[in-house]
Amino acid sequence: MTQNVQKLIVIGAGQMGSGIAQVAAEAGLRVLLNDISEAYAAKGLNRIRANLERNVSKGRLTEAEMDAVLGRISLSTTLNDAADCDMAIEAATENLDIKLQVFRTLDETMPAHAILASNTSSLPITEIAAVTKRPAQVIGMHFMNPVPVMKLVEVIRGLATSDEVYQTVYELAVKMGKTAVEVNDFPGFVSNRVLMPMINEAIYCVYEGVATPEAIDEVMKLGMNHPMGPLTLADFIGLDTCLAIMEVLYEGFGDSKYRPCPLLRKYVKAGWLGKKSGRGFYQYD
């Protein structure tokens, strides 16, 4: 038996949250796009509108379909709005304390049947579930960036996640046009356990003077057929996020093979966070 999720609240209207709200609304769900300020939420909606307009200009969507998708999205600046939602997908900052607070509030606010999902890229689902009174209804739903384009959703089962909730979320991901892959709750899940050490190693290659960032990216793009080189991808993901994930792997496994490269730490300390700050391994103006 699976649940019928009709109304969804997405917490966080940044790059990931707005993408999730878009694919959910395209799948026919009513969506509340929540952020701490009206301005942040509106910025997320503008991003969705721009994506949909591009699809209209490319003939993949009609104006009427675009209006219908946008009509299913409302903005929210309070978690009290979650009171009549069937599900929440949290896509707030990758900070465990912030996420725990959001989950405590959602647990108090949302109806008993509601599912609480996190889009975390590496924080422990089991620990997040443990601060709620419904750990069987807490799950990881990890979308990839850019959400409207990337096919994968890692569905992460916490220790207590029920089969019914897993199945509901699996089916929801399919309804959103994604391929869902089942993963258990261990540091970095599968995606970032494999991806981040590769990115970290590419940063070591810069640090040790093995090659320039351009050369390293060229090797991986042309040699391994990756759509983006690892350093371009690191800038795209955000160097602060890359560092946070490496720290989770390093702490979670206690294995020195996951130690973050000192150059990555240095860039983050300098505020060189990649594309979003205008500078990372490359410069963006």
Identity of residue 28:
G
Q: Which residues bind ligand CAA (CB under 6 A)?
A: 51, 54, 58, 121, 144-146, 148-150, 191-192, 195, 227-228, 233, 237, 241
**Which residue(s) pair with 179 in the sheet?**
152
Q: Is 226 a catalytic residue?
A: no
Active-site residue (options: 18, 154, 191, 200): 154
- Tell me how long the chain is: 285
Q: Is the CB of 31 or the CB of 85 nearer to ligand CAA?
A: 31
In whole angstroms, how close is the CB of 54 to ligand CAA at the nearest point? Answer: 6
Q: Is 118 a catalytic residue?
A: no
Ordered DSSP codes for 142-209: EE-SSTTT--EEEEEE-TT--HHHHHHHHHHHHHTT-EEEEEE-STTTTHHHHHHHHHHHHHHHHHTT
Q: Is the CB of 173 or the CB of 233 nearer to ligand CAA?
A: 233
Q: Among 108, 111, 159, which residue's Cα sits nearest to residue 138?
A: 159
Active-site residue (options: 18, 121, 122, 200): 121
* Cβ-proximal residue to ligand CAA, closest one: 121
Q: Is the CB of 79 or the CB of 281 nearer to ligand CAA?
A: 281
**Helical residues (DSSP H) of the chain, grouped into ranges:** 15-26, 38-57, 63-71, 96-109, 125-130, 163-175, 191-207, 213-224, 230-237, 239-253, 262-270
Q: Is 192 a catalytic residue?
A: yes
Q: How far apart are CA 101 and CA 71, in angstroms?
A: 30
Quote the tokens at residue 28.
């026919």
In whole angstroms, how close is the CB of 58 to ligand CAA at the nearest point? Answer: 6
Q: Is 121 a catalytic residue?
A: yes
In whole angstroms, how close is the CB of 1 to ligand CAA at the nearest point? Answer: 31
Q: Is the CB of 148 or the CB of 213 nearer to ligand CAA?
A: 148
Active-site residue (options: 18, 34, 142, 191): 142
Catalytic residue positions, numbered: 121, 142, 154, 192
